[in-house]
Structures are given as structure tokens and as C-alpha cells.
């Protein structure tokens, strides 16, 4: 009998929900942006989700989490470009911004927790 998988951490679930909501929108961007900015954002979202899952099981969480925090900041700026290029409605921008803010809050808390842990020898 196989072991049941543990429930996802809230930050992983929120990132999963962001990917599920955001990727279909990005796939509808105009062709000249879909294969540049849209593709970069999509790849960044998948990298973020994969990285969070890897960090969950890694003994060296802090290094991974700090890189993911940078990735999230890149995604925020790339998303703002969509708004500035008039490729995203303000309402959607505000929604995705809130999702990213929530993920950033969870990620920041996880990073703080890892920094407080004593280093393993």
C-alpha cells in the first residue's frame, strides 16, 4: 500500500493556482508578445512552482528559496510590462498582483524561518 502524499504547503498551492489561472491568459497574448514576454512569464511560473516543490524536500532550502524570491520579483516586473504595453486589463493586473503578493508573503516567511534554523554541519 502506498503512502498518501502530504498536503501541499500553502505557498505551493497558491503558486499552483496562479499558474492555473495565468497561463491561459498568457497563451492568448498577441503573437508578437506571446512567444517572447508571454513565454518568459510562463516558463518563470513553471520554474517557480517546480522550485518550491524541490525546496520542500531539499536539505538546503534557503539557497533555493532565495533564488525563487528573485524569480518571483522578475515575474512581478514582467507582469507590469504587460500592463504598460496595454496587454492586460488593470483589473486582471491587480488580481495577479495580489496573488503574487500572497506568494511573496508566504515565501518570505519560509525564508525567515530557514534563516533562523541553525546551520547543519
Q: Could you tell me the domains of the chain?
A: 10-116 (1.20.1440.60)
What residues have CB less than 8 Å from 90, skipping those under 6 apart?
83
pTM: predicted TM-score of the whole model, two decimal places: 0.91
Query: Do 93 and 75 contact (CB within 8 A), yes or no?
Result: no
Cα–chain center distance at 45? 5
**pLDDT value of residue 4:** 57
**pLDDT value of residue 93:** 99
Q: Torsion angle of alpha carbons 115, 54, 57, 8, nearest 10°?
A: 100
How does pLDDT run along the chain (121 residues), one tens digit per residue?
Answer: 566 566 789 999 999 999 999 999 999 999 999 999 999 999 999 999 999 999 999 999 999 999 999 999 999 999 999 999 999 999 999 999 999 999 999 999 999 999 998 766 5
> 26: which 3 cell numbers?
498568457
Q: What is d(CA 102, CA 94) in angstroms, rounded to the nearest whole number? A: 12
Q: What is d(CA 32, CA 101) in angstroms, rounded to the nearest whole number? A: 28
**pLDDT value of residue 8:** 86
Q: What is d(CA 99, CA 76) in angstroms, rounded to the nearest whole number? A: 10
CA angle 10/41/53 to nearest 5° reads 30
Amino acid at each position: 500500500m502506498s503512502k498518501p502524499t502530504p498536503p501541499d504547503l500553502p505557498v505551493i498551492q497558491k503558486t499552483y493556482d496562479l499558474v492555473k489561472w495565468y497561463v491561459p491568459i498568457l497563451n492568448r497574448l498577441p503573437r508578437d508578445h506571446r512567444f517572447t514576454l508571454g513565454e518568459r512569464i510562463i516558463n518563470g511560473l513553471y520554474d517557480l512552482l517546480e522550485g518550491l516543490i524541490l525546496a520542500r524536500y531539499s536539505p538546503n532550502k534557503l539557497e533555493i528559496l532565495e533564488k525563487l524570491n528573485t524569480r518571483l520579483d522578475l515575474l512581478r516586473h514582467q507582469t507590469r510590462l504587460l500592463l504598460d504595453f496595454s496587454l492586460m486589463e488593470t483589473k486582471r493586473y491587480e488580481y495577479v498582483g495580489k496573488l503574487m503578493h500572497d506568494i511573496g508573503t508566504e515565501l518570505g516567511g519560509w525564508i525567515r524561518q530557514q534563516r533562523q534554523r541553525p546551520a547543519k554541519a
